Chains A and B, each alone.
Chain A
Amino acid sequence: MDKKVIVYSTSTCPWCARVKQFLGDNNIPFDNYDVGADKAKAEEMIQKTGQMGVPVLDIGGEIIVGFDKEKIKAALGL
């Protein structure tokens, strides 16, 4: 069963763009929340991670902060 992927990002963060590109290149569907615009999702992200850095990925409950390619690949089974 495929894991649900959520990305918390801001519109200007270069690394967030990279994460989304990486997921797109690997045909992984994901939900993206712009935490700059959506305060509720920003709070959700802070609750999940205890911090405010972006991007944050939630891969089936596994939380990864930053574009950590190896961790992301491992979490997705790539």
Chain B
Amino acid sequence: MYELIIIGAGPAGITASVYAARKRMNFLVISKDIGGQAAYSGDIENYTGYQFITGPELTAKFEEHMRRYNIGVKEAEEVSGLRKDGNIISVRTNKAVYESKTAIIASGKRSRELNVPGEEEFKNKGLTYCATCDGPLFSGKDVAVVGGGNSALDAALQLINIARHVYIINIADNLSGDAIMRQKVQENKMVTLLNNTQVTAILGERVVNGIKIKQENKEEILPVEGVFVEAGLTPNSEFAKDIEKNQLGEIKINHYNETSAPAVFAAGDVTDVPDKQIIIAAGEGAKACLSAFRYLVRIAA
């Protein structure tokens, strides 16, 4: 049995693991991937100490730090359940079941899907959730960005330099996000902003060739070759069934990163921490580990 299981190896989980290693805890890190959302970030300019660094570069730095303490990660393993039986926490994954005295849930968030016909079929065949990664493949083509917040605006601004025309399909009345980005997007002649509009289907043959959109009660087909989904994020908290969450599905924590279940802690974007930033997640991971450590000392006494 472990003293601690850390679920997730993004900035929160990785930082927790470094703290755990330095406390010489007997722990395990289980994660689908290394780096989490941060790994997909293009340009990071607000991680203190690194004036400018890309997501993968920062992830590589985090991995270097873990290697220093010989921290191994059970990678490509996904947690499907977490249960507490008395004082034992059982963590079930797609490969095994692990037991521990404490756990830190640092599983982050994932892109929200549109849940429309054609989405699954055309993933990576013209439909993508990463404008930074895939944008260049659509040079000179007409594309659609689905969303209305900062991520959608960021994607649109990147695509303006690449695509022939950018349609923004926003379900709300207005764009949200930073004023400066909204202005840049709205002023640009290559952008057509469609508010109060919803995507109802993704169309295509071998690859995407259009989307069905609905405005008021009118449906039409918009011919586009690329669809960039930037419609929000959803917390990876489904496996933590008996743990209290807010209406967004985020795990509720206190100042000590304690959740509603004793011995279960949580850190980073999966929690209801007000702001989701890489550096905040890292700090939260450290706090959670220190809380878990103090808990173990208390129960041993």
Contact = CB atoms under 8 A, between A and B. Distances in A.
Contact of B42 (A12, A46, A65, A69): A12
Contacts of A46: 207
A37 B137 contact: no
Given A17-B54, A18-B56, A51-B125, A12 B135 contact: yes
Interface string B15-46: 00000000000000000000000011110000
Interface residues of B, number: 28
Contacts of B125: 50-52
B124 A13 contact: no
Given A14-B56, A17-B56, A21-B60, A36 B133 contact: no
> How many of chain A's residues touch chain B, expressed as a range?
20 to 34
A34 to B, nearest CB: 8
A15 B57 CA distance: 10
Contact of A14 (B42, B123, B128): B42
A74 to B, nearest CB: 12
A10 B59 CA distance: 19
A70 B75 contact: yes
A13 B129 CA distance: 12
B135 A10 contact: yes
Interface string B131-163: 011111101000000000000000000100010
A72 interface: no
Interface string B215-250: 000000000000000000000000000000000000
Contacts of A11: 136
Interface of B: 39-42, 54-57, 59-60, 75-76, 123-126, 128, 130, 132-137, 139, 158, 162, 207
15 contacts: A10-B134, A10-B137, A12-B135, A12-B136, A12-B158, A13-B134, A14-B41, A15-B39, A17-B56, A21-B56, A35-B137, A51-B124, A52-B126, A52-B128, A54-B137
Given A11-B136, A12-B158, A53-B133, 13 more contacts: A10-B136, A12-B132, A12-B135, A14-B39, A14-B54, A15-B40, A15-B56, A16-B133, A18-B60, A36-B135, A52-B207, A65-B124, A69-B75
